[in-house]
Amino acid sequence: MKAAQAAAGRFYSIVNNKPLIQRRLKAKFHLLLGLQDEREGLDSIDKFEFDNVHFTYPARPDVKVRMGEHGNGLGKKLLCKVLNSLSFTIQRGQKVAFVGESGSGKSTVMALLERFYDPDAGTVLVNGQDMRTFKVSALRRCIGYVGQEPVLFASSIRNNIMQGNPEASKEEFAKACRDAQLDYVENLPEQYNTFVGAGGGQLSGGQKQRIAIARALLKKASFLFLDEATSALDNASEKMIQATIDSISSNMTEGLGIVSIAHRLSTVRNADLIYVLSRGSLVERGNHTSLMEKKGMYYALVAAQESSHKADEDEKLDNEVSEQQKTERRGSTVSAESETARATREKKAEEEREKEIASKYKVPMMRLMSYNKPEWAFFVPAVLGALADGASMPVCTIALVGSMDGFFNPDKEAMRADLELMAIIFVIIGVSNFLAATISHGCFAILGEAMTQRLRIAILTGMFRQEVGFHDDPAHTPGMLSKALELWAFRVTVLCKSVQSKAAAFASLVVGLVIAFVYCWQMSLVMLGSIPIMVVANAIQVVVLMGASKNENANLTNAQQIVVDSVMNARTVQALGVEKSLVSLYMGWVKKSSVGMWSRNLLAGFGFGVANGIMFPVMAGGFYVASILIRDGTADFTGVMMAFMGVFYAGMGAGQAAVMAGDATKAKVACHDMFKLMDRVSQINGLEPVGEIPKELHAGHIEFEDVKFFYPFRPEIQVLKGISFKISAGMSVGLVGPSGGGKSTVMSLIQRFYDPQEGGVFIGKERMALSTVNIRWWRRQIGFVGQEPVLFNTTVRSNIMYGLSDDETVSEDYVKKCEGMCNLGFLYKNGNKGLETEVGPRGSRLSGGQKQRVAICRALIRNPPVMLLDEATSALDTQSEAIVQKALEAAREGRTSFAIAHRLSTVQGCDIILVNADGRVVESGNHTELMQHKGVYYKLQMQAQK
């Protein structure tokens, strides 16, 4: 009850919490300005306006952007907010771009346009009226949004796209898919019914982004917001998507307004209007030509980017390369069953599995109790306390019947003496029961908490120990694993805590029967027949409870995954306006878990009614037999009452033991699954200190020999089809090619997330097979920076130090050196706290470029001999990219490095470039050699220079 009350408090605090946006609206807007309530009337948006907008993030009120000296003669530097006195206009049908250095406020502008926040001062106008006069849902229906990091939900491709417009026709759906270049989906076994996995994990980055773009296009909105929407695509796909968006904008009757954030300035050159932001303020505006003529900040950004890139790499490919890309897409797609078929199959399999576990599995109690080994001293007093606690009620029978018998004593003094004695016995029993219950519950609570903690650590370790392929399994989504981590340990501890209830029930049963038979064996034998009746009544409850949870696991796990995806991607959910559809999807899974609810609940009510009602006929029968025994002189009142009460308490004890079977059944299944995970032999265990270590500590020689590979849960798709190459220590390698062509797979094999099915990966001059090398040691030799930066909800320092193993330390000077290499100076400006700056959940308090720089610093902190860069600079603005690129080039010296790149300029200086297509290396060599060869790489470069 106490736990339920605590949970209810948290529940109502969330349910009754009013959105900050609406609260501000009513308090600051309606009351002060006297406006009417929010209205739905917004079918389209023709114009956005910012009028002198100031803004600071609610979670970071101290984060401000330092401006220059203010000419007020005070000699003080003033601080302004994230956005400072910002004013601009965006018309429907325009292509508008916001550019500027990382952290200049571009994403904040888009957040205010979506009304994720309200400004601190100033006004955001929609169609000439304050944005706050319109319902948020109506506003967001008019906006399509595509973010930098594509967000997909654990559902089918079709369902993900249809979230953009659930009422779209087949023709509209097909057109949106064509415009987003989703031709590869047609080659999947289940096509648009293909399950994408948790977070779209079964697809490549480019494939996920194209689905996200199709979802936005299907919305048929007035404006399309693109937050670095093409950053995850290869050159050809990016240009095709960009051309498609431009075509849609120009061909729509009413025009589509496109608002984009861009670090790659080549993607915004054809914008009608470009706004240049710096430190929260608008410093320039105009189109590309006019801004270049001004030779201001925009000119400097473009010049820096052109100097770094030497050419615009983002031109379309010729027919040969485009056709090759289409072939590549076919080769890199995933195979998965339809969502409906998968759910049905899993439900049936789960039911059969639980039945088998319940009937055959024997819980290894000694192994389970070993997790309480440090607390074994608490076990004996806990059991003894439980026994004493259980015996207290039958023993109380002696005092209770003695008191009743005392009232029949005609001698008042003797009656008083007897009752005083019984009162003393009651007090003794009460104190004893208090001590016994305190010791029992306290000790078992200590045992349970300690076991829960150790089991959860063991479960989490078991999850970490598994190879990456384990996490690719749709049965092991983050939602499912997080639920397992939460519930398994909790349910398993029921098996140990049931010792307390069973001990108490045992004591109650034994002591009750002993008292009954000692005082009147005839009455006891008659009453003994009532015990099976009480046990059967309680057994009915157990059967009902077991049936009620029959469908719980699979369906509620799927519902949990919906919650995980929705909460982790709350901004995308709100931008899409799909809150109701996700709630409906969640309710669908919940309702499936309650199939047959009415019949089960009626049966449960019947069982509980029988269990409670059967006591009264039993009591009536007992008193009838007692009257006969007393009438015949076979027994006296004291004897029959002792027997009656003793057997009654014994029956209650047996019933309590039976009730425990319901929880024990759940615990049995959880125990089976938990130990199955712990005992699972990982194909690639990164935690075990096994395997060889090369003699040369910094051996960076890497060789692929005829490597063929498919993902464990997609065996029908051959991702790598015989890749071979040799890389000497210290060489820099560029991996180029169409999106989804296997470049990231090569990096996964280098890190030994997987082992190839054929061929081999070798390292070091000794040419040691990577499969024989100590994995923990090998991965410490690698610094990895991915395309989508992953930061944890802690300080920048902690995130950087995650790059070190537990036994590694670095000097503060080296930390400062890495900071400088990665351009982390922003941590010491704008009210930040340096390395102690909190990054927020998933790094939400930093811009995309800032997050990426922290991730790069984390990779460099371990000073690795091998660097793997998967589009490591794709999220950076021109200035930051140039600085970080130089740092990475310096860091490559003396190291073996692999860089995946869609922008060819970033790999031109590599010692060797591998051109990857259709799971094969079709060309290799340095930039000069490949240009002389005049193959695919040459065509890419020629098209880029046009």
Read off the tokens for 151: 């967000």
Q: CA-to-CA distance for 718 and 919, rounded, in angstroms?
A: 8
87 closest CA partner among 57, 56, 112, 117: 112
pLDDT computed for residue 202 by the predictor: 64
CA of residue 752 relative to chain centroid, distance = 24
Q: Are 440 and 523 spatial neighbours (Cβ–Cβ below 8 Å)?
A: no
Residues 6+ apart with CB under 8 A from 525: none
> What is the amino acid identity at position 256?
L
Q: CA-to-CA distance for 262 and 56, rounded, in angstroms?
A: 22
pLDDT computed for residue 656 by the predictor: 61
Q: CA-to-CA distance for 739 and 326, rounded, in angstroms?
A: 10
Q: Which residue has the tokens 């395997």?
A: 691
Kind and range of the H or E run holding 79:
strand 77-80
Q: How many CB atoms lie within 10 A of CB 473?
A: 13
pLDDT computed for residue 435 by the predictor: 93
pLDDT computed for residue 660 by the predictor: 53
Read off the tokens for 666: 């759940």
DSSP secondary structure of 599-631: HHHHHHHHHHHHHHHTHHHHHHHHHHHHHHHHH
307 closest CA partner among 871, 822, 883: 883
> In three state form, how does the secondary structure of 358-400 look?
HHHCCCCHHHHHHHHHHHHHHHHHHHHHHHHHHHHHHHHHHHH
Q: CA-to-CA distance for 904 and 735, rounded, in angstroms?
A: 10
Do strands 257-261 and 223-227 pair parallel, antiparallel, or not at all (unpaired)?
Answer: parallel
227 closest CA partner among 328, 308, 146, 156: 146
End-to-end CA distance of the chain: 74
Domain spans of the chain? 1-37, 42-332, 351-551+595-679, 718-945
pLDDT computed for residue 502 by the predictor: 82
Can you name the CATH fold of 351-551+595-679?
ABC transporter transmembrane region fold (1.20.1560)
Q: CA-to-CA distance for 910 and 424, rounded, in angstroms?
A: 92
**Whole-structure pTM value:** 0.59
What SS3 class is residue 151? coil
Q: How many residues does the chain have?
A: 946
Q: CA-to-CA distance for 298 and 769, rounded, in angstroms?
A: 51
Read off the tokens for 723: 């890749």
148 closest CA partner among 111, 202, 192: 111
Q: How many CB atoms lie within 10 A of CB 899?
A: 25
Equal fold, 351-551+595-679 vs 718-945? no
> What is the amino acid identity at position 384?
L
CATH numeric code, 42-332: 3.40.50.300
Residues 6+ apart with CB under 8 A from 611: 534, 537, 538, 540, 541, 655
User: Which ranges of 636-731 would DSSP assign to H, the alpha helix?
Assistant: 637-679
Q: Which string of b and e fits 770-783 if b means at least 16 CB within 10 Å?
A: beebbbbebbbbbb
Q: CA-to-CA distance for 157 and 150, rounded, in angstroms?
A: 13
Q: CA-to-CA distance for 845 and 842, rounded, in angstroms?
A: 9
Q: Are 557 and 480 spatial neighbours (Cβ–Cβ below 8 Å)?
A: yes
Mean pLDDT by 10 residues, the chain (946 residues): 57 57 45 43 81 77 42 37 83 85 80 85 87 81 77 77 80 81 74 72 70 80 78 60 62 69 75 86 87 83 61 36 38 41 62 75 84 87 90 86 84 87 90 91 88 88 83 74 80 77 85 89 84 65 51 60 67 67 72 64 72 78 87 87 84 62 69 86 79 68 90 82 88 80 86 90 85 87 81 88 78 85 78 82 76 84 86 65 70 80 77 86 87 80 62
**pLDDT tens for each residue of 424-479:** 999 999 999 899 989 998 998 888 888 888 888 888 888 888 888 787 777 777 76
223 forms beta bridges with 143, 257
Q: Are 152 and 202 spatial neighbours (Cβ–Cβ below 8 Å)?
A: no
781 closest CA partner among 800, 759, 808: 808
**pLDDT tens for each residue of 46-92:** 888 898 888 887 655 444 443 333 333 333 333 446 788 888 888 88
Residue 861 half-sphere exposure toward CB, CA atoms < 13 A = 25
Q: Are 684 and 754 spatial neighbours (Cβ–Cβ below 8 Å)?
A: yes
Kind and range of the H or E run holding 530:
helix 530-548
Q: CA-to-CA distance for 533 and 539, rounded, in angstroms?
A: 10
Q: Are 419 and 539 spatial neighbours (Cβ–Cβ below 8 Å)?
A: no
Q: Are 423 and 538 spatial neighbours (Cβ–Cβ below 8 Å)?
A: no
Q: CA-to-CA distance for 600 and 590, rounded, in angstroms?
A: 16
Q: Are 446 and 375 spatial neighbours (Cβ–Cβ below 8 Å)?
A: yes
> In three state form, how does the secondary structure of 425-479 look?
HHHHHHHHHHHHHHHHHHHHHHHHHHHHHHHHHHHHHHHHHCCHHHHHCHHHCHH
- Which CATH architecture fits 718-945? 3-Layer(aba) Sandwich (3.40)
Residue 835 half-sphere exposure toward CB, CA atoms < 13 A = 13
